[in-house]
Amino acid sequence: MSNVPTPHINAKEGDFAKTVLMPGDPLRAKYIAETYLKDCRQITDVRNMLGFTGTYQGKEISVMGGGMGMPSIGIYSHELFNFYGVDNIIRIGSAGSMSPKCHVRDVVIAEGACTNSSWQNQYHLNGNFAPIASWELLSKAVRAADAQNKHYVVGNVLSSDPFYDADPNANEPWKNMEVLCVEMEAAALYMEAARSKKNALAILTISDDTLTGEALSSEERQVSFHEMMEIALDLA
């Protein structure tokens, strides 16, 4: 008996390309599909988490929303990797800078993803797992960014469970360890990829700066995120 459709994705077998771009927002997935992909078709819409497949520069590629937080991206990435034959998932999303190396609108390519989450506890490891990106995707992303003459920073990020943390100084120890920025999904994605023997990468755009207070409006985010999208699309 086929494992698809799954409880969270109603696509048919073969609907997804081997590479999936995964923004958090399903409407951003729709925007990417309509803006960049040719012969695009919608393949899933469970809970309005929209997914699409088309071609970019002659290569098949899919894009699908992943939601907010590690539990959400954990569900979708697990089902894509294990039931739909997807080999590569590239998270494309926003992050808050907590380093003077990263400024608003900069692109961050996440080499590793620290976390304050208990996500790894399910694996019963005798220690702490270090969630890292796929070297294949990371190196391709750096080459694509260089070829497109894009400004980017490569380094460690923080995947945080709380968005509104009760501790106003929660990020200070991470800043002291040279962590570049904070987001909410990459660590779970990297761990799901390791568990599934697949590839994952997070490419982020700095949408706000926790050091200066500068932040992009929703309209500015729509324009500024194109550089991140174009790097990711080249990885298909």
For 207-224, write each residue's pLDDT tens digit: 999 889 999 887 777 656
Q: Kindly report, residue by residue over 11-21, the tens digit of the pLDDT.
A: 999 999 999 99
Phi, psi dihedral angles at 46 (to 5 degrees): -60, 130
| Mean pLDDT confidence for 28-37 | 95
Residue at 166 is within a domain = yes
In this predicted structure, the answer to whether residue 153 has a pLDDT above a threshold of 80 is yes
**Which position has the higher pLDDT, 1 or 119?**
119
For residue 220, the model assigns a pLDDT of 74
Q: Is residue 1 in a domain?
A: no
Residues known to be catalytic = 208
pLDDT at 2: 73
Orientation of helix 226-233 relative to helix 135-147, angle to 10°: 120
| pLDDT beyond 80 at 24 | yes
* pTM, 2 dp: 0.96
Work out the percent of the chain whose per-residue pLDDT is above 90.
92
Q: Is residue 8 assigned to a domain?
A: no
Q: Model confidence over 154-210: pLDDT tens digits? A: 999 999 999 999 999 999 999 999 999 999 999 999 999 999 999 999 999 999 998
pLDDT tens digits along 100-143: 999 999 999 999 999 999 999 999 999 999 999 999 999 999 99
* 134 within a domain of the structure (yes/no): yes
Find tokens 């907010």 and name the residue: 68
- Cβ-proximal residues to 138 (8 Å cutoff; 6+ apart), any chain: 109, 111, 154, 201
Look at residue 218 in the predicted model and tell me its pLDDT.
75
Domain membership flag for residue 5: no
CATH number of the domain that residue 100 is part of: 3.40.50.1580
The reported pLDDT for the residue numbered 219 is 73
Q: What does the pLDDT look like over 50-97, one tens digit per residue? A: 999 999 999 999 999 999 999 999 999 999 999 999 999 999 999 999
Q: Is residue 71 part of a domain?
A: yes
Q: Which domain holds residue 156?
A: 19-233
Q: Does a structural domain hold residue 6?
A: no
CB 121 within 8 A of CB 191: no
Count of domains in the chain? 1
Examine residue 2 and state whether it is found in any structural domain, yes or no: no
- DSSP run (H or E) holding 218: helix 218-224
